[in-house]
Amino acid sequence: MSGPAKAKRGIPQKEDFNEWYPFIVEAAELVDKRYPIKGMDVWRPYGWKAMRLIDGLTHAEMERSEHEEYRFPLLIPENLLEKENRLVALLKKARDEGVEPEELRIDEDEAGFKKEVYWVKHAGENELDIPMFLRPTSETAMYTMFPLWIRSHADLPLKTYQMVNTFRYETKQTRSFIRVREIHFFEAHTAHIDEACASRQIDEDLEIVGNIMAAMCLPVLISKRPVWDTFPGAWYTIAIDVVMPNGRTLQVASVHHYRDQWAKAFDIKYEDENGEFQNCHQTTYGMSERLLGAVVGMHGDDSGLIMPPKIAPIQIVIIPVLKKGQEEMVNESASQLANELRAAGFRVKVDSRDMRPGQKYYDWEIKGVPLRFELGPRDIDKNSVFAARRTGGKTPLDRSEIITLAHAQLAEIESELIQRAAQHMKGKTQPLPELIECDGKWTVEGEIADGVVFEIAFDGSDAEAEIIERTCGLTFLGDAVEAYSEPKPCVITGNNTKRRVWLARTY
RNA sequence: GGGCCCGUGGGUUAGCUUGGCCAAUACUCGAGCGUUUGGGACGCUUGGACUCCGGUUCAAAUCCGGACGGGCCCA
């Protein structure tokens, strides 16, 4: 195999994000894209470790919030789709008949991922009577079992989750972590006695998202998606987006409130305290490997990745600097240092490859190891360790207090990343140029800047939202969960509103 | 959904326009030996490629078609 890193001169500038990103995910050995199926990369150990550490954050949050982990089969028989289709039809009918129309937006073509599923139609020599599909998400599979498990109000809330791979037949351009055909997926599914309890679950989900994003030093936009962009069968969808370096937003998580629509379709009901049957109210919460994609995009620079310490597969790399005749002494000192750090809980690697130290520095910089310790005869003499932070800055550290100092260094890197990311977000958010109507035709005053997220006060209708989307060539992310504290005039109607809406080009 | 470009050792690439001299260029990389090691070391030895299928032709890396894969732009 090739070495872990390529020549620095070979790294595209991060400004050229469309070149930088695909280069870096391979050069940093996160994935190998040479597997001969579009959109299905091979996870390499370094990338998988990072993903597993991100998953670890999620598992910890699930544990804390008393969700339980399940593992559902990958294959789903076709006939189960019928229930889902019936649900969609039902919702459509409700909409057509004017029942809560704005709450029941359904696009039949999108419903059930019909166009995006992989099918298994043969097994051995036989054609299957009932074809099976690979889960694009697991509502159908899980809600087939929920009625068997939920009988009494005492069984609720049911809080489940699983981390599995899901499959979607993407025809558009694929991108590592961002748009793939086999998705490393997290999905939490809950069932509750009523709408209010389900709503409380949504609040908890948002708190969980907040914790996970904070651990990865990722600032996010949290917004309620417009009705036309609501998940099929959902009452509403709240999405979490990260602003990538090119200003495009990447949806990294979503939370759906289903009310009792799915429960009706799948007959998920419980007996309440009065002995009466009630439908459950449900929520889902999903995330994926896009989280890693966001980390790569948000924190990386012209020299490669920068891993936030909490998810860095290697937090500290130790480079022994050898001198002729003193190899053994230096190596021994390095491994002793490594052992001490490991005992204190750090993820540590000693790079004892036979090459020049400079070469190693470049290698680990591409991979984004946050802290590098150099250890040579000079340092050992002075009882110190020479530290270089991936975010910039070099300092000798007192060897005798190395554990404390290493913690401090990583904390400093973390806060530097948070600060940079916040700065990035701030710089990428702008007010929208003024919209002008003339004979029923809308135009924009000036240019729509590229690579930017726009924030507007908006109080218009769906139709007016569509006008804005068309006029500006942007996508409505939706209503910020944190609305304006003071009313502002809507860009279309001029009415005062606290509704704070984001528009962006999206992935 | 529409358009454009690309596919040569593990990686980057020359060759393709004008088919033969290509049993293929350079750098990098892998293996081995030696000297080295505080920001990309050097010497010697050695290893490794025309995406696949079909067509045109005496002859295809080169021309044509398709598949697969990669990339970009626009809706």
DSSP of A26-56, one letter per residue?
A: HHTTSEETTSSSTT-PEEPHHHHHHHHHHHH
pTM: 0.95
> What is d(CA A135, CA A142) in angstroms, rounded to the nearest whole number?
11
Distance A289 CA to B14 C1' (A): 39
How large is the average pLDDT for residues A351-367? Answer: 95
Q: Is the CB of A447 under 7 A from strand B?
A: no
Nucleotide nearest to A35 (CA to C1'): B69
Q: Is the CB of A27 under 7 A from strand B?
A: no
| pLDDT category of residue A440 using cuts at 50, 70 and 90 | confident
pLDDT tens across A217-232, in order? 999 999 999 988 888 8
What stretch(es) of chain A map to CATH 3.30.930.10?
8-299
Beta bridge partner(s), residue A185: A164, A288
Distance A72 CA to B73 C1' (A): 41
A8: helix, strand or coil: helix
Complex ipTM > 0.90 = yes
Q: Say if residues A35 and A189 touch (Cβ distance below 8 Å).
A: no
Q: Is the CB of A275 under 7 A from strand B?
A: no
Our measurement of the distance from residue A452's CA atom to the centroid of its chain's CA atoms, rounded to an integer in Å, reads 20
Distance A46 CA to B70 C1' (A): 23
**Tokens 């298994």 belong to which residue?**
A120
| pLDDT category of residue A97 using cuts at 50, 70 and 90 | low
How large is the average pLDDT for residues A249-258? Answer: 96
A176: helix, strand or coil: coil
Token digits of residue A25: 């995910």
Distance A247 CA to B8 C1' (A): 37
Residues 237-266 of A, Cβ under 7 A from nucleic strand B: none
> What is d(CA A281, CA A63) in angstroms, rounded to the nearest whole number?
22
For strand B, the positions having any atom within 7 A of a protein Cβ are 1, 10-11, 28-30, 35-41, 68-73, 75
Residues 319-348 of A, Cβ under 7 A from nucleic strand B: 321-324, 327
pLDDT at A104 over 50: no
| pLDDT category of residue A433 using cuts at 50, 70 and 90 | confident
Position A4 scores a pLDDT of: 33
Report the run of H or E that residue A468 belongs to, with start and end.
helix A462-472
Position A9 scores a pLDDT of: 52
Fold of A8-299: BirA Bifunctional Protein; domain 2 (3.30.930)
Chain length of chain A? 507
How large is the average pLDDT for residues A325-347? Answer: 97
Residues 49-108 of A, Cβ under 7 A from nucleic strand B: none
> What is d(CA A8, CA A6) in angstroms, rounded to the nearest whole number?
6
How many Å is the maximal CA-CA distance in chain A? 87
Residues 457-476 of A, Cβ under 7 A from nucleic strand B: 473
Which CATH number is correct for A430-504, 3.20.10.10, 3.90.25.10, 3.90.180.10, 3.30.110.30?
3.30.110.30
Q: Please state which of the ranges A27-36, A151-160, A426-435, A443-452 shows the lowest mean pLDDT.
A: A443-452
Considering just the CA atoms, what is the radius of gyration of chain A in Å?
26
Q: Please state which of the ranges A310-314, A376-380, A503-507 shows the lowest mean pLDDT.
A: A503-507
| pLDDT category of residue A117 using cuts at 50, 70 and 90 | confident
Token digits of residue A238: 């709240």
A100, HSE (Cβ side, Cα atoms, 13 Å):
12
Report the run of H or E that residue A403 belongs to, with start and end.
helix A402-428
CATH of domain A314-416: 3.40.50.800
pLDDT at A308 over 90: yes
What stretch(es) of chain A map to CATH 3.40.50.800?
314-416
Position A249 scores a pLDDT of: 95
Between A117 and A307, name the one with better pLDDT: A307
Q: Residue ranges of the alpha helices (H) in A77-137?
A: 79-96
Q: Is the CB of A158 under 7 A from strand B?
A: no
What's at A67, amino acid-wise?
Answer: H
Distance A318 CA to B43 C1' (A): 30
Position A82 scores a pLDDT of: 76
Q: Is the CB of A18 under 7 A from strand B?
A: yes
Nucleotide nearest to A3 (CA to C1'): B29
pLDDT tens across A173-209, in order? 899 999 999 999 999 999 999 999 999 999 999 999 9
pLDDT at A109 over 80: no
